[in-house]
A and B are shown apart, each in its own frame.
Chain A
Amino acid sequence: MKYRRTTLIIFLAPVLLFYFVIFLAPTVNTFLLSFFHATKFVDGNNTFVGLRNYLELFKSPLFKKSVSNVFLLWIIGGFFTFFFSFMFIFLLRSGIKGKSFFRSIIYLPNLIPVVAATTMWTQYIYHPKHGFFIKFFSTIGLDSLAAIQWTGTTMIFWSMMIAITWGSIGWFVIILYAGIDRIPNELFESATLDGAGKFRQFTSITMPLLRDVIRICITMFTIITLNHFAYPKLFTSVNVVRETYVPAVYMYELAFGMSNGASGGKILLGKGSAVGVLILIIIITFSVLINKIFDKFDKVEY
């Protein structure tokens, strides 16, 4: 639809104003900062270093490790998050009783403050002595599962991923569900009359019509995953260990000069800003790719 110019201005101006103050100006500030060696937060005696910060990042083993960590979280964590989200939605819509109760309990983990959740996982569920897992698996005789060192070096990354996934599923279920309820029931009814089973209906009706919502969800998931900060920082609450290192933590340590951090306590605001810019670029690239993939499918009108 084409709108009149005044309409556009009235509707968009306020939002864009906020955007400028809160996002655009500071981001441009940070973007410019990434080309400097900056040890102060405000324009001090910052030396222009061109692309040096970026080159250092590309060569840094720790930065590369953090990116690979977050990428694994995105691919594997993403797969499981969406797999379970879709599965739960399918089950919720299959006509069982107590739908709203089940939906609430699926969303509940998302509401738990991260500090409580991480403590619950590391000090209770995964605990080697009195933990939920070790007690449960031992009791039902699954000794091989009981023997897993969840918070040991090899498993800690996956344990954190499990914790994150558990907390995220509910959020996506809610969003996807709001999208599903917009689909008219007639479509499902006529499909049932035609003899299609619940599963067939799900794949042929529900999923395609949810395309836009799914696209939103995947984009949101990308953004959240690449920006993960709280979970890694709180999972190992004193220092972030190499196995669970993520770019946002790297950026924080550089920008604020954390004493036990990657810069050995020095404030490297320019390099930290560069990390932020790179995170942003990765997200935008993924968003564009996701959009292109989704645009390939025809838009379905109902």
Chain B
Amino acid sequence: MKYRLLMLQILFVVSISLFANGQNEVTQDENVTLTWWSMWLEDEAQADVVRSAVSAYEDDNPDVTVDVQFKGREVRNMIIAALEAGEEIDITDMDPAVATLNYSDYFLPLDEYLTDDILGILPNSLVYQDLTPQGKVLAIPTAPYIVAVFYNKDHFKEAGISSEPETWDEFLDVCEKLKSIGKYPITFDSDAYTDVLLGYGMQRAVGYEGFHDAMNDKTGESWKDSRVLAMAEAFETLWDDGNWDPNTPQYLFPAGQQELALGNVTMYVNGSWFPSEVLPVTGTDFNWGTFSFPMIPEGVSNNHGLMMGTNGSVIVAKSLNPSEAFELISYTISEDIQKEYVEKVGGLPVHVDVNPQGPLVDASKLVVASDFGMGWAAGLYDAGELAGNVFIPTFRDLVLGTISAEDFVLKMADGTAEFYSTTE
């Protein structure tokens, strides 16, 4: 009698496993099948564009079937487990910086596929921005972005500002004019965009190498450079002159962005996705402008250095059909698909002959004009937890007027030295 219960329980488990095997019927294709785990989501405009590219490819290649699955941003975490478990995937989407840092073993180097035709339509600086330790290209850039100062052109016109600022003094002057027409010149969301301000500030002040030297100097003394102090004073003045929206210390994403979208604030250092992110609030009539982050007083760099990056598509190293996979990817960067991308997604195109309309016209011009590209926040996060624990909070306090320029320099130096001495 008591065994009846045990039998029942065993039956449950057994039937479940039988049930399991019955579910998994995979239709076998004689054709070649390409499996693509896309980082976009079903309903995103980017997914539509991918689908267009896929059907264009399938039309031209009737013996190949493409199975594209829209996994969303977590695909990065799922794909590795899936590959290790033996799933057959050919293509996925990944930031080249991430791919080369962590996953170079899983993906195919694409150098042999980079024909002159392909290189002719891609910005080469972007293609070669992130290389594997062996110097190979892993990803085809498909969705580039830049970080710059986005602003409301109508405010500039109303305030009588005729040209975009290039030096810090010009920048402060612009702020004065904006205040006189009753606008807050600048704001941000401190939980989201403090890092790019610090990256630009330091790169303009001491250069990309100088910035990284300061991050890596275990004594912390490199922070006590006079140019760093000049940068700190520049931001100190910016706050003290009352140029920031006074509620800025409390804005958490997307509150600050919305203030610009609503026309209360003029400028915001943000990424080129900014106009699409606030489109529901701005509407299509918003007059977007973009200029490169200005020079810092006494800084070594001009204002041409541009923060940019991209998302890209990669081919799995174990893929059985790499050439077909590459051809499929090349459809996403073709001129037609890129035009569709610009229209539907409102992002920056990667095809050099395709020009965006509307909000990103200025932004794309910056890409052309830049002579130096750097990654997000000028590589601030190479400092690991020092970035989130010391650099960003200290800089944020400087920007928001909580600490002085001298204190900023001391805290950065002390924080760096302390970190290295306690963790070594």
Contacts and interface: CB of A to CB of B under 8 A. Distances in A.
Query: Does chain A bind chain B?
Result: yes
Interface of A: 6-7, 9-10, 13-14, 17, 39-42, 44, 56, 59-63, 65, 122-123, 126-129, 149-153, 235-243, 245, 256-257, 259-267
A53 to B, nearest CB: 13
A242 B2 contact: no
A236 B192 CA distance: 8
B2 A149 contact: no
B9 A10 contact: yes
A56 B9 CA distance: 47
8 contacts: A56-B423, A62-B385, A122-B252, A239-B191, A242-B392, A243-B393, A259-B381, A265-B101
Contacts of B376: 259-260
A241 B384 CA distance: 14
Nearest to A39: B102
Given A60-B423, A122-B252, A127-B255, A241 B77 contact: no
B99 to A, nearest CB: 11
A262 B77 contact: no
Interface centre among B80, B385, B423 (most CB of A within 10 A): B385
Interface stretch (B39-47, B166-174, B243-251, B344-352): B243-251
> Is chain A's interface secondary structure helix, strand, loop, or mixed overall?
loop
Nearest to A155: B250
A25 to B, nearest CB: 15
B128 interface: no
A262 B95 CA distance: 18
A13 to B, nearest CB: 8
A123 B191 CA distance: 13
A59 B77 CA distance: 28
A10 B397 contact: no
B385 A128 contact: no
A82 B419 CA distance: 38
B368 interface: no
Interface centre among B250, B254, B387, B389 (most CB of A within 10 A): B250
A194 B15 CA distance: 60
B18 interface: no
B84 A41 contact: yes
B180 to A, nearest CB: 22
A148 to B, nearest CB: 10
Nearest to B418: A61
B26 interface: no
B381 A236 contact: no
A10 B381 contact: no
Nearest to B248: A128
A238 B189 contact: yes
A236 B97 CA distance: 24
A60 B385 contact: yes
B20 interface: no
Contacts of B97: 259, 265
> Is chain B's interface secondary structure helix, strand, loop, or mixed overall?
helix
A242 B389 contact: yes
Interface string B385-420: 101111011001100101000000000000000110
Interface of B: 2-3, 5-6, 9, 12-13, 76-77, 80-81, 84, 95, 97-98, 101-102, 105, 189-192, 195, 247, 249-255, 376, 381-385, 387-390, 392-393, 396-397, 400, 402, 418-419, 422-423
A50 to B, nearest CB: 17
A257 B98 contact: yes
A259 B388 contact: no
A152 B9 contact: no
Contacts of B250: 126-128, 149-152
B253 A237 contact: yes
Contact of A238 (B5, B192, B419): B192
Contact of B385 (A39, A127, A263): A263
Nearest to A151: B250
Contacts of A267: 102
Given A257-B102, A264-B382, A266-B101, A151 B84 contact: no
A128 B251 contact: yes
A14 B11 CA distance: 11
B9 A153 contact: no
B388 A236 contact: no
B381 A41 contact: no
Given A62-B388, A267-B102, A14 B13 contact: yes
Nearest to B421: A59
Contacts of A235: 252
A41 B81 contact: yes
Contacts of A237: 191, 252-253
Contact of A260 (B3, B195, B252): B195
Given A7-B2, A61-B422, A242 B80 contact: no
Given A153-B400, A237-B252, 18 more contacts: A10-B2, A10-B5, A13-B6, A17-B13, A128-B250, A150-B250, A238-B192, A238-B253, A241-B190, A242-B388, A242-B393, A243-B393, A259-B97, A260-B388, A263-B384, A263-B385, A264-B381, A264-B384
Q: Which 7 A-B pairs have the closest CB atoms?
A: A236-B191, A238-B192, A128-B247, A62-B385, A262-B385, A42-B84, A62-B389
B381 A265 contact: yes
B129 to A, nearest CB: 14
Contact of B252 (A40, A236, A242): A236
Contacts of A60: 385, 423
A143 to B, nearest CB: 16
Contacts of B9: 10, 13-14
A132 to B, nearest CB: 14
B388 A239 contact: yes
A2 to B, nearest CB: 16
A181 B101 CA distance: 58
A153 B191 contact: no
A238 B396 CA distance: 15
